[in-house]
Amino acid sequence: MFEADLSSQGEVFPLLLLALGLRFVQTTPRASRLYCRARVEHLLSPEALRTLCDWLLTEPQFTQLLPDVPELRRLQDDFAREYPLAFLASQRLVLAGGQVILDLLITKDAEALSDGLTVAATLETCRVRRLHDQWKPRVAILGSGLAGCNLAAALATRGARVSVFERSSTPHTGASGNRQGALYIKPALAWSRENRLHVLSYLFAHRFYQRHFAETQSTQQPWSHCGVLHLAQNDRELQRIAQLHAQAIYPQRFIRPLARQEAADMAGAQLDCPAAAMPHGGSLEPAKLCQRLLQHHDLRVLTGQHLNESDWDAVVWAGGHPQANDPLSPSALPLRPIRGQISSIRVKANDSTTLNAMPKQVLSGDGYVMPPLQSEADSTWLTFGASYAVNRLDREISEIEMADNSRQLAKTLPELAARLESTQLHREERAAIRCASTDYMPVVGQALREHLGINEQPDSEIAKTLSGDRRLWFMTAFGSKGLALAPLLAEQLACTILGEPTPLEPDLADGCDPRRWARRAALKGYSPSTGGTG
């Protein structure tokens, strides 16, 4: 492990980063990684950054340090693509196919950031993780949904030997098996810890999907970068969007208000309310995403199997809501199930009137409506919903929730809903269970024995051994934001297990830690099993 302290001011920061990155990419094995951490006081606009990088590459005094070679151009393009928005937080940028990783901490006030005039930076630390230095642990991941598949990919790219266990006969059978899902969040008016985690995870997820799936746009890709429109379908939401704009809480590149007609034009559909546009959002096919994450790496996927041995360097429980008969699950933590039922209608490819009435972007209001998804040559699916039923574990199709989904669609797109009802097209319903914590933060970190519902089952001895040896971890409770949270939290947990620099700031990592309830109990004198409610 190599560490160095380096300082630089003004335009020297991107020069130094590009030079370090180029030398590293050209001289080290593919599986090695360079971790850099920089503190930035001002942030250039993306256009100004590209102008500066272009100048650095053409200025004679820098040509020896930065020779014009394909690797440098790719690194420059990666830097421009990954370049973050001006949030007062640390953001992880992944360059050169994961060989160069930059954690960029922005520390100045928002007014200075909005000016975007100069880069005054300190490159604080560089750490090289070489291939021959790496510990290659055997890791078992329990669960093949979004959490498990993202974590498997993050670990495997770092050299871990990963096995994914799925109790069902086929993978991705829970909420991660839904036909479509949206990359979206609902930005809050306060820059709270929960909101900060959601914003940073959402932006990291956007960059992650762009990095892996945006180069080839085809029906085989699980990601569509179409954007999200948050609809102001009631006075409360209209006031919230107005406050976000008036207080300038977020950059315009992140979210901006739209008048009704502008929103309708952007959606390509008839809307009867204003909206807020979030261009980093989009539509995903969760099951296809999980398949692609597992196919890209040398992983073992074991379906219909349980973990029956403790001879692992790390075991990660990455399931949905815990089951009482699973001693490795976090059944003693204050978690709750959330049932969601979505609806999908199949439209023939020659029904141009119906197809033209479908939105081009994800519409998020009282429910959501997804853009059309072409699945076969002669048909397209429209997916909408979803119900939100707390503390329910049943998966049977509900006629009431089906009707509620239809009412939400009619409220958002009345003409399209009327046409779909009149044509009596084929419709499918799917119900799934998500898991959420009582404080709305995910659960990611090391498991202790008191977090488990250990009983006298055979698996209990494995649970006792793993938790006692600090080899058991949790990654769960993403609620309805799995597509936004999973990539960054997988990066966090993979780096934690392998002893590599982690992307989250300490207070965010503490907010996800399974031990947070016990800490609150010690401070305030209540039972951790209640989640702080009594």
Distance CA 21, CA 43 (A): 20
At 342 the pLDDT is 97
pTM of this structure: 0.92
Q: How many of the other CB atoms lie within 10 Å of CB of 357?
A: 21
At 531 the pLDDT is 52
For the segment 197-245, what is each residue's pLDDT rounded down to a tens digit? Answer: 999 999 999 999 999 997 655 567 899 999 999 999 999 999 999 999 9
At 269 the pLDDT is 95
Angle at alpha carbon of residue 237, lines to 234 and 242, rounded to 5°: 125
Q: Record the tokens describing residue 292, joined without a space.
A: 């692609």
Beta bridge partners of residue 431, listed in sequence order: 341
At 423 the pLDDT is 85
For the segment 143-190, what is each residue's pLDDT rounded down to a tens digit? Answer: 999 999 999 999 999 989 999 999 888 888 888 889 999 999 999 999
Regions of the chain short of the pLDDT cut 70: 1-13, 42, 108-123, 130-134, 215-219, 296-297, 455-459, 526-534
Q: Is the dihedral of CA 230, 235, 238, 240 positive or negative?
A: negative
SS3 138: strand
State yes or no: cis peptide before 386, omega within 30 of 0.
Answer: yes
Distance CA 2, CA 501 (A): 13
At 133 the pLDDT is 60
**Contact in structure between 159 and 131 (CB atoms under 8 Å):** yes
At 110 the pLDDT is 41
Distance CA 339, CA 243 (A): 31
At 218 the pLDDT is 59
Q: Which of 355, 385, 389, 387 is nearest to 372 (CA)?
A: 355
Calculate the average pLDDT of the chain: 87
Give the CA distances from residue 447 to residues 92, 232, 333, 365, 442, in Å, rounded to whole numbers and listed in that order.
26, 41, 10, 37, 14
Helix axes 12-27, 46-58, angle to 10 degrees: 70
